[in-house]
Structure 1
Amino acid sequence: MNEFVEIIGNVPWWGWLLIFLLLVAISDVFFNKKHTIMHNFPVVGHMRYFLESIGPEIRQYLVANNREELPFNRRERGWIYASAKNQNNYEGFGTDQDIFSTHYIFINNALLPYKLPEDHPNNKNSGLIPCAKVMGAWNNRKRPFRPASVINVSAMSYGSLSAKAIESLNEGCKLSGAFHNTGEGGLSPYHQKGADLVFQIGTGYFGVRDEQGNFSMKKLVEMVKNNSQIRAIELKLSQGAKPGKGGVLPAAKISKEISEIRGVPMHKDVISPPYHSTFNTIEEMVDFVEEIARATGLPTGIKSAVGQLKDWKTLAKIMQEKDYGPDFISIDGGEGGTGAAPPSFADHVSLPWIYAFTDVYKIFQKYQLTERIVFIASGRLGFPAKAAMAFALGADCINVAREAMMSVGCIQAQSCHTNTCPTGVATQNKWLQAGINVKDKAMRTNFYFVKFRKELLEISHSAGHEHPCQFDTDDVDINLSDKNLAKTLATTFSYHKDEVNFNSVKELVECPHLGGNLNLESLQKTEKAID
C-alpha cells in the first residue's frame, strides 16, 4: 500500500493531465452517443464546442469592426455608454460610416440655424423638449397628458427585466422628465419611483384580470385611482419581435411577488395568447379603447407592429365614422425586440419601422386623422439623427427599449431569454442583479435622455427649427441605391407630413397638462453636470 501511495505521489502534474485526457477520450469514444464530433475526434472535439460557445464574445471584442455588429454596433453602443456616463461622446477625424450605403440618412441643415431668443426655456435647459401634442385633447379625456419629454422608455415588464433594472430606469425617468411604459407584466413597486407611467395591457391582462384570467375594468379603474402617476393606458396588440405570437410564463419563474403583481396563480404555467379575449373585430377593439378611456379618464392608445395594411385602413375608417378611437398609436418596427422570439418571427414577420410607419401615417393622413393622434415611434431609434428622421416622417415621440437597457449596463450579450444576463439587467437571478447600483444607474439613464434630447435639439436648430416637431419630409434625404442616389423622404415615401400645431417651446412648458414628473431643478443640475 505504501508503495502504491509513493508511486501516486511521484506522478508529475503532466502525468495526471495525460490520465485525465485518456479518461475523457475513453468516455468520448465508448459512451458519447449524442455528439458525432466528440466521438470521432475525442478530446479535440471538445474545443469545437467551447469555441462555439464563446464565439459571440470573440466576434464582439476581437473580430468585428466598429460598424459590423447587429442589432447595435460598437459605435452605437459606445455613444450610449459615453452619454450615460456623462463622458465625451464626440468622435474625431470625421465619420467612418459608409455615407453612400443604402438607407443612409442626411439631415438638410439650414443656411442660418435657429437662434434662441434670450428668454427661451432652452437657454437654461437644453435637454428640455416636451411633446408638441397632447394625448387625449381631441377626444376630451378627463386627464389629458402632454409628455414632458419626446424621448421615453418603451414597454419592458418586471419579469423580463430585473427589479433593479426597472427601478433604475424609473428613477432615471423621474430625473429626466421621461415617461416609463410598464410593459404588459403589471404595475410593480419598481415602476413606482416617481416617473410618469404608461400602463400597458397585454393579452394576459396581467394586473387587471379576474380569477378566471379575464379583463377586469373594476381593477383597472381602482389601479388608476390609487396611482396618480399613471398618465395613459396602452393596449398592446402586438410587438415588433413576435407579432401575432403569444407567450408562456413557466411556473418555475413565478415568485410570490410576481404572482401578486400579475394576478396569476403560483405553481402553474401562465399562457399569454396571441389574441385578446375582450374583442374579436377592429370595431370592437375601438369600442374597448373608448370604454377604457371613459372609465379611467385617461388617454388610451394602442401598440402594434405593422403587416397587412387593410386592417389599418379599416381602423382609420372606423375612427372617422365614430369620431373617436385611440388617442395615441405606438408603431413598433420588426427590428425591435427586448426579449426572446423564434428567428422566423424576429427576422421575417412584420415590417421594419420606416416602412411600417410611413404606410400607416399615409393612411391616417388620407382620413384626416393625424391631428388627433400622437404617433409614437419605436424600433432602434435611440439616436439623435434617427430620431430627427422619425420626426420628419410624422412621429411625435420616440420610445427606446434596448438603448435604455444599455444606459443601465446592458452589454448586448443577447442572453435575455436564458436568465443568465451577465449585467443583471434581464435576469431574475439575485446574484447577477446584485451588481446594479440603482442610484448610479438611474443617474446614467438621466444623462442618456438629457444628452439625447440636447443633441436632437441641436440638430433641429441646425435645420432652422425650434422644435423637432417642425421637421418635414423635405428636411431629410435618404440613400435609395447607386442609381437613384439620395432623395428626400417626401420623394421616397410620396407624402408630406401634416403640420403640427406648434407655436413655441415656452408655450409647451407652460401647458397645464404637461407631465407631472417634470423636475426643472433636476434638469438644471444635469445641465450643469454635462457642461
Structure 2
Amino acid sequence: MTSALLVIFLIILPILTAVFLYFYDRMQKQHAILRNYPILGRVRYIFEKTGPELRQYLFDDDNDGKPFNREEYLRMVLPGKYLNSIIGFGSKRDFQESGYYIRNAMFTKQNEEMRVDNADLVNTKRYIMDEDNLFSRREHLEDVPTLPWLLPEEDAVVIGPDCEHPFRVRGLLGQSAMSYGALGDHAITALSKGIGLTPGSWMNTGEGGLSPYHLEGGADLIAQIGSGLFGYRTEEGEFSVERLLEKAALPQVKAFELKLAQGAKMRGGHVEGEKVTPEIAAIRNVVPYTTINSPNRFHQFDDYPSLFDFIDEIRGHAGKPVGIKIVVGGKEDAEELASYMQQTGKGPDFISLDGAEGGSGATYQDLADSVGLPLHSSLVLLDDALRKYGVRERVKIISSGKITTPDKAAIALAIGADLVQSARSFMISVGCIMAHRCHTNDCPAGVATTDKKLQEGLVIDEKKYRVANYILTMREGLFRMASAAGLDSPTKFERHHVIYKDERGRVFPVE
C-alpha cells in the first residue's frame, strides 16, 4: 500500500507543479514569453541558461568560441598539468585564414648552440596518466627535475639600468596584473609559489595593492599603482610616500607600474562590495564591503609633464624602475609619448603595452569590444615611435594581450616587445575553467572569488606546480621557436623573422 501511494505521489506531484507554474506564469506581468506560453517558456529559459555550457562542451568546434576556444584553452592547461606540449597527427589551425607566421631558417640552430642557462634545475611535479577510459581516469603526481630555460646573466633584459636598483629579467615571460580581491588568496598564493619555483619570471600585483599572498612564494614583483592608489593612499585618498617606501623596501618588489589603462577597460577598476572583505579593505585602505570604482584616471597628472614628474617622484623615493601600463589608440598617441621623452630626457623605464583583446575580471562590453587597438597593431606603432625619436634604448616594452603560447610570444618579441606577460593563461593554469563568473564572486573553480568555501576547491600545493610547469614549457617553447628561426636566443627576434599571410595566400613583411 505504501509503495502504491508513493507511486501516485510521484505522478501527481509533477502534474500539480506544472499546473501551479502554468497559472502563476499566466498571471505574472514581467515576462511576455512566460505569460503567453507558460510551459514552453520555462523550457526556453532552461535552454537559454544552460546554452553557454552546452556550446562550450558539446557543440562548439575545437577552434570556435571566444575569448579562447577549446584548442587554445587546452594549450594552456595541458602543459601546466603534464609538462608537455607535444601533439599528434597535425595542427588544427585553419591555414586558409590570414595570420602571422615565424619565418623558419634553412639552417636551424642545434640545442648546444643556444645561449641558455640550464645549470640549476627546477624541482617541480607533473601528472602521469595511469588509465584514461570512458568511465575511469587515474593519474598520479611525479617529482621531476626540469630545465629552467633561463637567459644567461649577460643576456638578461635590464629594466632601469640607471636606477639605484635595476631589475634584471632572465625569463622573458611574466604574469600580468591581477589583484588580490579580483582573485582570492588561494589563487594569488598558488601563483606566487609557482612563479617563485621558476626564478627569472615575475608577477604583477595588480592595482589592488601588495598583499601578503603576493609575497608568499618569493616571486619577483612588479607593484602596480592604479588610479585609486590602493595600498599607496592616505585615508583621504591622496598619494602616500610613506606607503610607497614600505613597498620599495621589500627586496621582492623589483619595480613599480602606473596603470593608465588596460585592454578591456580604458577606465578605473571595479570590484563588487561583497568581494571587499575586511582584509582586502585594509590592504587597499578602503571601507569593507563597499563597491570600489577607481577614478578613470589619476588625479595626480593629466598630461605628459605632470605624468613624467610623478614618475620621477616615485623613482626618486623608491630607487627602483618605474613604468606605465597603456593601451595605444593611434599613431599620434605613440609619437606624442616618444616625442616628449626625447624633448625632456625623462619618462618611464618600461611600458606595459596591453592590446584591446586583453581581459578583465569586470568591465563593460562596449569598452572591451571597441576601444583601443589590438596588440600587434599597437606594438608596431609604439616600437616605431620610440625608434623614430631615438628613445627606444631607454625603455623596455612588455607586451600583453592573449599571449598564451610560445609562438604568440615569439611573434610579439619579433614585432617589437622586449618581454611578454599574460594574465588569463596564468588564471587557467591555476584552475580557471572560463565560466565567465569573474565579476560575481561565484567562480566555481575558486580562482576569481574571495568566498572561502569556493576557494577550498583550489589546492595551493597542487596548483603551484601547474603554474611553474606552464612557465617552463613557455620558456622552452620560446627557445625552440628561436632555434627554428636560426637564432641562438629568443632575445634576437626581429620583425624580418615574421611574415603575414592574408586570406588569399599573399605574404607580406611586418612593417
TM-score of the superposed pair, with normalisation by structure 1: 0.87
Report which of the two has the higher share of strand: 2
> 1:128 Cα shift?
1.8
Aligned twin of 2:102 = 107
Aligned twin of 1:53 = 49
> 1:310 Cα shift?
2.7
Task: Structure 1 unaligned segments of length 5 or more: list them.
Answer: 494-531
> 1:250 Cα shift?
4.2
Structure 2 CA distance for partners of 1:98 and 1:199, relative to 1, 3 Å = same
Residues 463-493 of structure 1: per-residue CA shift (max 9 Å, x gap)? 11111121111111112341x712222xxx2
The alignment status of 1:237 with 2:260, answered yes or no, reads: yes
> 1:268 Cα shift?
4.2
SS of 1:180 mapped into structure 2 = strand
The separation in 1 between residues aligned to 2:351 and 2:256, in whole angstroms, is: 11
The separation in 1 between residues aligned to 2:445 and 2:338, in whole angstroms, is: 43
Task: Structure 2 unaligned segments of length 5 or more: list them.
Answer: 120-146
Aligned match for 1:91, one of 87, 92, 95: 87
Aligned twin of 2:317 = 295
Aligned twin of 2:486 = 464
The separation in 1 between residues aligned to 2:445 and 2:110, in whole angstroms, is: 43
Matches within 5 A, 1:118-267: 121-122=116-117, 124=119, 125=147, 127-129=149-151, 132-137=156-161, 140-177=162-199, 178-193=201-216, 194-225=218-249, 227-243=250-266, 245-266=267-288
Structure 2 CA distance for partners of 1:119 and 1:47, relative to 1, 3 Å = closer
Aligned match for 2:308, one of 272, 286, 294: 286
SS of 2:94 mapped into structure 1 = coil
> 1:422 Cα shift?
1.0
**1:302·1:328 contact (CA, 8 Å) conserved in 2?**
yes
Aligned twin of 2:506 = 485
SS of 1:197 mapped into structure 2 = strand
The separation in 2 between residues aligned to 1:118 and 1:356, in whole angstroms, is: 34
> 1:22 Cα shift?
0.5
RMSD: 2.0
Residues 407-457 of structure 1: per-residue CA shift (max 9 Å, x gap)? 011111111111111101111111111011101111110000001110110
Residues 11-56 of structure 1: per-residue CA shift (max 9 Å, x gap)? 34212211111111111112x2111111111122111111111111
Name the aligned partner's letter for residue 332 of structure 1.
D
> 1:269 Cα shift?
4.0
SS of 1:477 mapped into structure 2 = strand
The separation in 2 between residues aligned to 1:269 and 1:6, in whole angstroms, is: 54
The separation in 1 between residues aligned to 2:60 and 2:186, in whole angstroms, is: 31
**2:116·2:489 contact (CA, 8 Å) conserved in 1?**
no
Structure 2 CA distance for partners of 1:461 and 1:9, relative to 1, 3 Å = closer
Structure 2 CA distance for partners of 1:202 and 1:22, relative to 1, 3 Å = same
Structure 2 CA distance for partners of 1:73 and 1:250, relative to 1, 3 Å = closer
Aligned match for 2:453, one of 407, 426, 431: 431
Q: Identify which range, 114-123 or 151-160, moves more after superposition.
A: 114-123
Residues 218-265 of structure 1: per-residue CA shift (max 9 Å, x gap)? 21012211x21000000000010011x234444443221011100112
Aligned twin of 1:500 = none
Aligned twin of 1:511 = none
Structure 2 CA distance for partners of 1:287 and 1:428, relative to 1, 3 Å = same
Structure 2 CA distance for partners of 1:8 and 1:100, relative to 1, 3 Å = closer
SS of 1:146 mapped into structure 2 = strand
Aligned match for 1:378, one of 391, 400, 413: 400
Name the aligned partner's letter for residue 325 of structure 2.
K
The separation in 2 between residues aligned to 1:241 and 1:322, in whole angstroms, is: 31
> 1:122 Cα shift?
4.2
Aligned twin of 2:498 = 476
Structure 2 CA distance for partners of 1:267 and 1:488, relative to 1, 3 Å = closer
> 1:76 Cα shift?
1.3
Aligned twin of 1:336 = 358
Instruction: Report the identity percentage.
Output: 39
The separation in 1 between residues aligned to 2:270 and 2:398, in whole angstroms, is: 27
Q: Identify which range, 315-324 or 292-301, moves more after superposition.
A: 315-324
The separation in 2 between residues aligned to 1:362 and 1:466, in whole angstroms, is: 25
Structure 2 CA distance for partners of 1:287 and 1:254, relative to 1, 3 Å = same
Structure 2 CA distance for partners of 1:248 and 1:375, relative to 1, 3 Å = closer
Name the aligned partner's letter for residue 91 of structure 2.
T
SS of 1:375 mapped into structure 2 = strand
The separation in 2 between residues aligned to 1:172 and 1:303, in whole angstroms, is: 24
Aligned match for 2:26, one of 26, 29, 39: 29
Matches within 5 A, 1:311-460: 311-460=333-482
Name the aligned partner's letter for residue 104 of structure 2.
N
> 1:288 Cα shift?
0.8
TM-score of the superposed pair, with normalisation by structure 2: 0.90
Structure 2 CA distance for partners of 1:44 and 1:183, relative to 1, 3 Å = same
Structure 2 CA distance for partners of 1:10 and 1:77, relative to 1, 3 Å = closer
Name the aligned partner's letter for residue 182 of structure 1.
T
**1:128·1:450 contact (CA, 8 Å) conserved in 2?**
no
Q: Identify which range, 468-477 or 268-277, moves more after superposition.
A: 268-277
The separation in 1 between residues aligned to 2:383 and 2:175, in whole angstroms, is: 22
SS of 2:203 mapped into structure 1 = strand
> 1:283 Cα shift?
1.4
**1:134·1:146 contact (CA, 8 Å) conserved in 2?**
yes
Aligned twin of 1:270 = 292
Name the aligned partner's letter for residue 487 of structure 1.
F
SS of 2:158 mapped into structure 1 = coil
Q: Identify which range, 266-275 or 44-53, moves more after superposition.
A: 266-275
The separation in 2 between residues aligned to 1:250 and 1:459, in whole angstroms, is: 42
Q: Identify which range, 197-206 or 467-476, moves more after superposition.
A: 467-476
The separation in 1 between residues aligned to 2:16 and 2:475, in whole angstroms, is: 62
The separation in 2 between residues aligned to 1:342 and 1:211, in whole angstroms, is: 29
